[in-house]
Amino acid sequence: MRGTVKWFNAAKGFGFIAPDGATTDVFVHVTEVQKANLNTLDEGEIVEFDMGMGKNGRESATNLRKAS
């Protein structure tokens, strides 16, 4: 999937991505950002990701990468 970072707060450890063509934002946890070797996500940044389940059973972004 592809989407735009709506907001991300590293201090809080999470943020949300607005997927292209979808109406519901996707949760992204700081651990996924770290796994992608990124320091942070910037508002408006275009990213690609897969959908997965977080530790709490909530759908979230996984396999995060910057869009090329």
Q: Report the pLDDT value the prediction gives residue 34, as an integer from 0 to 100.
A: 96
2-66: CATH topology: OB fold (Dihydrolipoamide Acetyltransferase, E2P) (2.40.50)
Q: Report the pLDDT value the prediction gives residue 40, as an integer from 0 to 100.
A: 94
User: Cβ(30)–Cβ(18) under 8 Å?
Assistant: no
Distances (CA, A) of 12 to 1, 28, 33: 24, 11, 13
Where do the structural domains in the chain lie, given as residue ranges?
2-66
Count of CA atoms in the C-beta half-sphere (13 A) of 44: 0
The pTM for the full model equals: 0.91
Amino acid at 6: K
Rounded to whole angstroms, how far apart are CA atoms 24 and 19? 8
Residue ranges for the chain with pLDDT beneath 50: none
